Amino acid sequence: MQELHPKRSRFDAQRLRKPLLIAGPALVIAVGGGLWLSGGRYVETDNAYVGADTVVVTPEITGTVSAVNVREGQHIAKGDLLFNIDPEPYRIARDTANGEVAAASIQLDALKQSHAKAVRDIETAQTQTDYQQKNYDRIAQLAQRNFSAQADLDKARAALNQAEGTLAAAQQTEREVLAQLGGDTNLPLEKYPPYMQAKAKLDEAERDLRVTELRAPISGVVTQSSSLLPGRYLAPGAAALAVVDVDHVWVDANPKETDLEKLKAGETAEITVDAYPDHVFTGSLDSISPGTGAQFALLPAQNSSGNWVKVVQRVPVRIRIDRQPNDPVLRAGMSANVSIDTRS
């Protein structure tokens, strides 16, 4: 009985050997075939980061912050009031410009009245000159016949000269006033140069007053606002705070240039982020950069030196995320892993 057990063991081993000899190669072929079919299908990279539209809010005018209406991390809608710059200096500038507009209107009316008076003065002076000319001619004829004294002739000549001088002065005044009217005695107020200048100044003053209220350019979340406090002086272009649009995010990935030929816009992608490793986001390849990341660097690499070493470059691509209701919130700058299906 003791000799039967080794024989049975050898028999069982021989019986299992044949299926294993068949199943083993089949398994290897199946795994190898699967790898061959899927090999190169997916382009994967962990050099990827979440991006979002970020707008830095800067004032267009100088001034002191008078009120801050938002706080760090607050969700806001486009057009919401963020903060105010002290409007009082700009109210004064607007009122001054308003006064200049009114003064220009009064000035135009005065010029038109001055021109009308100059025309009347010319008519009066012309009448007086004509009279003095006739009087002089009459006395000159009498003087030729010795019927008038030389003193009377000299007096008539002086009166004529005075009348001609008055006429010339009236004509000069009329020309000067007409020139100020641009040659048009019916010049409308809107085309009067001093009025146009004053109106432009008023428009600028009203605009400056309007932009003392800084409103949200986009909907999103307020950030970098901790240093924005009442009393802070801001210059045009100075960063006051930023607004990040967390509802419209994407992923900027940097696959190797050797994978570029496999990629084309529209291919589907799966994304995971380190913050939510168990959640898979879906998306599609939106665009491929026309150059490598190094090409658009602030200081591009110089490869003309003798110690040049070839390095595989990275080509930036943008992945558009198809947001789903159950997707967690993505924040700009998060690290991501991307897998692009090149056969999709």
Q: Domain holding 160: CATH number?
A: 1.20.58
Instruction: Count CB-CB contacts under 10 A for residue 1.
Output: 4
* Rounded distance between C-alpha atoms, residue 266 and residue 263, angstroms: 9
The whole domain housing 138 covers 90-208
* Rounded distance between C-alpha atoms, residue 118 and residue 183, angstroms: 14
* Residue 133 CA, distance from chain mean position: 72
Total structural domains within the chain: 3
pTM of the entire predicted model? 0.70
Point out which residues pair with 323 in neighbouring strands. none
User: Does residue 10 carry a pLDDT above 60?
Assistant: no
Residue 34 lies in a domain: no
Give residue 1's pLDDT: 43
Q: What is the pLDDT of residues 139-188, one digit of tens each?
A: 888 888 887 788 888 898 999 999 999 999 999 999 999 999 999 999 99
Q: What is the pLDDT of residues 263-303, one digit of tens each?
A: 999 999 999 999 999 999 999 999 999 888 777 776 666 66
Residue 161 lies in a domain: yes
| 73 lies in the same domain as 129 | no
| Burial of 191 (C-beta count, 10 Å sphere; 0-12/13-18/19+) | exposed
Q: Which of 208, 234, 263 is where one domain is finished?
A: 208
Residue 35: band (very low, low, confident or very high) from pLDDT cuts 50, 70, 90 = very low
| 232 lies in the same domain as 254 | no
Point out which residues pair with 284 in neighbouring strands. 268, 320
- Count of H helices and E strands in the chain? 4, 12
Q: What is the pLDDT of residues 64-81, one digit of tens each?
A: 999 999 999 999 999 999
Q: What is the residue-wise DSSP string for 162-195?
A: HHHHHHHHHHHHHHHHHHHTTT-TT--GGG-HHH
Check: CB of residue 220 under 8 Å from CB of residue 245. yes
Give which of 196, 177, 186, 198 is closest to 122, Cα–Cα: 177
Check: CB of residue 234 under 8 Å from CB of residue 68. no
| 227 lies in the same domain as 294 | no
Give which of 230, 251, 216 is closest to 74, Cα–Cα: 216
Residue 35 lies in a domain: no
User: Does residue 249 carry a pLDDT above 80?
Assistant: yes
